[in-house]
Amino acid sequence: MLTSLFLLLGMFSLNTARTTLVIEAEQGKEPLIVYYGSREAAPADIATVRASGAKPQRAYPVYDMRVGELAIGNPAYALAVTQSDGAFTLDLAIENASVRRWENGEILEVVSRDKYYPVTVKNCWKSYEKEDLFETWVEITNGGKKDISLRRYYSGVLPIHKGNVHVSTFGGSWGDEARMVTAPLDNGIRLVRNIDGIRNAQSSHSEAMISLDGAPQENSGRVIGAALCWGGNYDLMFSTMAKHNYHWFLAGICPDNAEYHLEPRGTFTTPALAYSFSNEGLSGVSRNFHRWGRKYRLAHGDKERKILLNSWEGVYTRVSEPVLDKMMADWSELGGELFVLDDGWFGGKYKRTPTDCALGDWVVDKEKLPHGIPGLVQSAGRKGLKFGIWIEPEMTNTKSELFEKHPDWVLRPLHHAPIYGRGGTQLILDFTNPEVQDFIFGVVDGLMKQDPGLDYIKWDCNASIGAAGSPRLKYQSHLQAEFWAGFKKTLDRIRAAYPDLTIQTCSSGGGRASWGILPWFDEFWVSDNSDACQRVYMQWTASYFYPAITMASHISAVPNHQTGRVTSMKFRIHVAMSGRLGMEMQPKDMNPEEKELVREALVQYKRIRPVVQFGDIYRLHSPYEDGKFSSLMYCSEQKDKAVFYWFRLDNDRTHHIFPAVPMAGLDPNRNYKVEELVRGSSKPCAFEGKVFSGKFLMEHGLEMPYVHAEGKTEWSSHVLYLQAQ
Ligand code: DGJ
């Protein structure tokens, strides 16, 4: 009955477990969004509301004669085309709409054609039923005999009804990635535009949280989260006009300097925009994204990550066989599983000791490592460790044999001087060039052929494309599209050849935390800032869209190398245990108590790893709220296990009483036994070994004591493991 009413009205209702998206697609008209929100609130009433004359919003407004009508000059259009005769307008009408099933949902395709020009636009929506998530993207086809060009080609649009709408976006810089900025939406344009070219998460993230019920809440209220799945330049645009009932949210490739010329019979496919609705607040949206990401977007999202020691902050480029052997022996003794050799191991004619040379010359520096990488892999194996290695394969230096041989392999402005990256010598290889694609594949292939035992690659990227170009391109404005096509082709090839390899994306820290590139990568380095206090903030914001399994989170030395801050070992361990645990320091410099604590941490992390890496996140108290403390937890899907984290962040008052934090995600009808993990020499907390009902823990919570091991209140922290009885 409902379905037939929907069809009569040309309405397509895509349902997920708890949400509904209704698109109206009547022949001869344009696609409209009738409804997006909770499934319970949806079905029958929507059809009735629509039949009573309610006006749905344009699902994909294009640059046509209705742009003005949208609300006098509203720039919220998603597609702008220059026709072969120079005309700027489109006038699209739906030709057909169809739905088909895939294993976990449906795909709706609405094909529209211009009434005069041979241009076809296919809007696609794909539902992920179990994860409550939709992806939308667009395919634009030139059916004519002459080129047309795309001046703007966004992936998707969401009209958001006005009310008390707040938007949170994430931005920062090196060492301070993904700071959250939340503000109510008001008249005008709010634009997040990233034009780095390659490190598209360093200065801003391609994600936003849209809270519909006032200031964002973690565990209540209606929220839409959206992530553009693209590795390059992008726009997230919020446009609000006083005269219109809706805010417009649009996202896609940044069109600035990127006009795309589409040849006859050519099709341009935009990246997907993923979005999810939840009425369980920001954390609800995060859980949907985490489940979807682990299952459909992340490399090996269902495999536990190893606990690793990365050599960078321990020895920087001062690598040598005896030093690395000792580090590996210490790491093995502490219970580690994987050792990763960072920068500094390579170079032929130019030795990589300062970091201003040799990128591209991926031959081992025999003076530092006489037995080469195979020698180290074997040594690691003898100690029961897997071995991983750092590379930065998309880059070169002017001081390198690669650049001397192939000066034309780099991106640069055609006739102006390039801006050099790190060390004043670094340049980016030109992924649009098939020879470069072969070379980059060959870097990984060469290492793997030489040593099939390699388990892990840390893939770094420390430069911006900015305004550089490629001499190979007919249109410089195609650089982003062609560069990323070359990247995808090469990474597909690497993944086909080495499906089991773990690959971390690192980019001067968290510069590539993006669902656009994680399909080829297993995790990202959250930030070069390893200060545990600042990591509480950065890992908090990263967790809005990325699960703990993706977040490389390492115990580092004090004073911290980036901030100089001294925090307790226990605090540093606890913060690192809330992500993918690792270490970033020289074990030989640790005292026996610190070693004992790390040993204990590794034992305990192995126990809680499945809950942390595959569990559901519930953020409880934001560090952004008052800067005093922060708390979050992960719960297993069966709700039989949970890990609770509590971090004190300030030391303003010696005798400050912190409120109990009501927990979330537990089963109210089960009882949970509390076990405090890695408490060092501090006394067991009062709740140790006690049993509490899930109901009590969620309605009241436990008041955390804040004195840590050395008797100081600063950097007090607790990790509680809760197991159902
Ligand atoms: C930048 C990365 O973010 C660091 O972790 C480290 O790998 C250095 N590059 C090495 O040069």
For residue range 207-236, list pLDDT tens digits in order. Answer: 999 999 999 999 999 999 999 999 999 999
The pLDDT confidence band at residue 353, using thresholds 50, 70 and 90, is confident
Q: How does pLDDT run across 98-116, given as a tens digit for each residue? A: 999 999 999 999 999 999 9
DSSP assignment of 292-308:
HIIIIISTTTTSPPPPE
Which of 202, 318, 357, 460 has most ligand 1 atoms within 8 Å of its beta carbon, as the pocket-test mutant? 460
Which of 318, 343, 359 has most ligand 1 atoms within 8 Å of its beta carbon, as the pocket-test mutant? 343
**Quick check: 613 and 547 in contact, CB under 8 A?**
yes
- The ligand 1 site (C-beta within 6 Å) comprises 312, 342-343, 355, 390, 460, 462, 506, 508-509, 525, 528
Question: How high is the pLDDT of residue 106?
Answer: 98
Question: How high is the pLDDT of residue 111?
Answer: 98
**Ligand 1 center to 306 CA (angstroms):** 20
User: Does 655 score more than 80 pLDDT?
Assistant: no
The percentage of the chain sitting over the pLDDT mark of 70, rounded to a whole number, equals 96
**Ligand 1 center to 319 CA (angstroms):** 14
Question: How high is the pLDDT of residue 671?
Answer: 98
User: Does 709 score more than 50 pLDDT?
Assistant: no
Cis peptide leading into 61, omega within 30 of 0?
A: no
**Ligand 1 center to 269 CA (angstroms):** 34
Nearest partner of 372 among 457, 440, 447, judged by Cα: 447
**Ligand 1 center to 323 CA (angstroms):** 19
> What residue has token string 């390198």?
400
Atom of ligand 1 nearest to the CA of 508: 3
Question: How high is the pLDDT of residue 689?
Answer: 96
Q: Can you state the angle between helices 321-334 and 592-614, rounded to 10 degrees?
A: 70
Distances 555 to 111, 144, 541, 563, 598 between C-alpha atoms, Å = 52, 59, 19, 14, 9
Indicate yes or no: pTM above 0.95: yes
Which of 173, 198, 309, 312 has most ligand 1 atoms within 8 Å of its beta carbon, as the pocket-test mutant? 312
**Ligand 1 center to 423 CA (angstroms):** 13
Tokens found for residue 341 = 């050799």
∠ CA 506-512-516, rounded to 5°: 130
> What residue has token string 């700071």?
179
Question: How high is the pLDDT of residue 684?
Answer: 83
Q: Which residue minimizes the CA distance to atom 10 of ligand 1?
A: 343
Atom of ligand 1 nearest to the CA of 316: 10
Tokens found for residue 545 = 């869209």
Look over the chain and give the mean of its residue pLDDT values, rounded to a whole number.
94
| CA dihedral sign of residues 390, 396, 400, 402 | positive
The pLDDT confidence band at residue 67, using thresholds 50, 70 and 90, is confident
Helix (H, G, I), strand (E, B) or coil at 82: strand
**Quick check: 671 and 725 in contact, CB under 8 A?**
yes
User: Does 8 score more than 60 pLDDT?
Assistant: no
The answer for residues whose C-beta is within 8 angstroms of residue 153's C-beta and 6 or more apart is: 78, 79, 80, 138, 140, 252, 253, 255, 260, 268, 270
Cα 375 → chain centroid: 35
Q: Residues 605, 292, 213, 618: what is their CA dihedral angle, to the nearest 10 degrees?
A: -10
User: Does 674 score more than 90 pLDDT?
Assistant: yes
E strand segments, 348-385? none
Question: How high is the pLDDT of residue 49?
Answer: 76
**Ligand 1 center to 391 CA (angstroms):** 10
For the 2-297 domain, the top CATH level (class) is mainly beta
**Quick check: 465 and 419 in contact, CB under 8 A?**
no
**Ligand 1 center to 583 CA (angstroms):** 14
Distances 721 to 535, 640, 642, 676, 716 between C-alpha atoms, Å = 21, 11, 6, 6, 17
**Quick check: 122 and 267 in contact, CB under 8 A?**
no
Nearest partner of 211 among 146, 255, 265, 163, judged by Cα: 163
When computed from its CA atoms, the radius of gyration of the chain, rounded to whole angstroms, is: 27
Question: How high is the pLDDT of residue 70?
Answer: 57
Atom of ligand 1 nearest to the CA of 528: 3
When mean pLDDT is compared across 40-44, 139-143, 204-208, 378-382, the lowest value belongs to 40-44
Q: Which residue minimizes the CA distance to atom 9 of ligand 1?
A: 508
**Quick check: 514 and 484 in contact, CB under 8 A?**
no
Distance (Å, whole) CA 168 – CA 156: 19
The pLDDT confidence band at residue 1, using thresholds 50, 70 and 90, is very low
Q: How many residues does the chain have?
A: 725
∠ CA 351-352-354, rounded to 5°: 115
DSSP H or E stretch at residue 383: none
The answer for residues whose C-beta is within 8 angstroms of residue 660's C-beta and 6 or more apart is: 700, 701, 702, 703, 704
User: Does 698 score more than 50 pLDDT?
Assistant: yes
SS percent in the chain: helix, strand, coil, step 5? 25, 35, 45
DSSP assignment of 202-266:
TSEEEEEEEESBSS--SSSB-EEEEEE--SS-EEEEEEE-TTSSEEEEEEEE--TT--EEE-TT-
Q: Which residue minimizes the CA distance to atom 2 of ligand 1?
A: 508
Higher pLDDT, 44 or 137: 137
**Ligand 1 center to 389 CA (angstroms):** 12
Question: How high is the pLDDT of residue 681?
Answer: 81
Question: How high is the pLDDT of residue 318?
Answer: 96
Distance (Å, whole) CA 522 – CA 703: 36
Atom of ligand 1 nearest to the CA of 458: 7
Is 620-724 in the same CATH topology as 2-297? no
Higher pLDDT, 202 or 11: 202
The number of helix segments (H) and strand segments (E) in the chain equals 14, 36
Arithmetic mean of pLDDT, 611-624 = 97
Distance (Å, whole) CA 552 – CA 332: 19
Q: Which residue minimizes the CA distance to atom 11 of ligand 1?
A: 343
Tokens found for residue 676 = 């405090």
What letters, b where the CB count within 10 A reaches 16 and e where it falls short, cover 534-569? bbbbbbbbbbbbbbbbbbbbbbbbbebbbbeeebbb
Question: How high is the pLDDT of residue 544?
Answer: 98
Q: How does pLDDT run across 118-129, given as a tens digit for each residue? A: 999 999 999 999
User: Does 72 score more than 70 pLDDT?
Assistant: no
Distance (Å, whole) CA 191 – CA 713: 42
Distance (Å, whole) CA 540 – CA 414: 42
**Ligand 1 center to 310 CA (angstroms):** 10
Q: Residues 315, 317, 323, 324: what is their CA dihedral angle, to the nearest 10 degrees?
A: 100
Q: Where are the domains of the chain?
A: 2-297, 620-724
Q: Which residue minimizes the CA distance to atom 8 of ligand 1?
A: 343
The DSSP letter of residue 73 is S
Strands 234-240 and 629-635: unpaired
**Ligand 1 center to 540 CA (angstroms):** 22
What are the residues facing 53 on neighbouring strands?
A: none
Arithmetic mean of pLDDT, 255-283 = 98
Q: Which CATH number is 620-724 given?
A: 2.60.40.1180
Helix (H, G, I), strand (E, B) or coil at 661: strand
Tokens found for residue 404 = 């001397």
**Ligand 1 center to 509 CA (angstroms):** 7
The answer for residues whose C-beta is within 8 angstroms of residue 274's C-beta and 6 or more apart is: 133, 134, 135, 226, 227, 228, 229, 289, 292, 515
**Ligand 1 center to 414 CA (angstroms):** 29
Distance (Å, whole) CA 78 – CA 235: 11
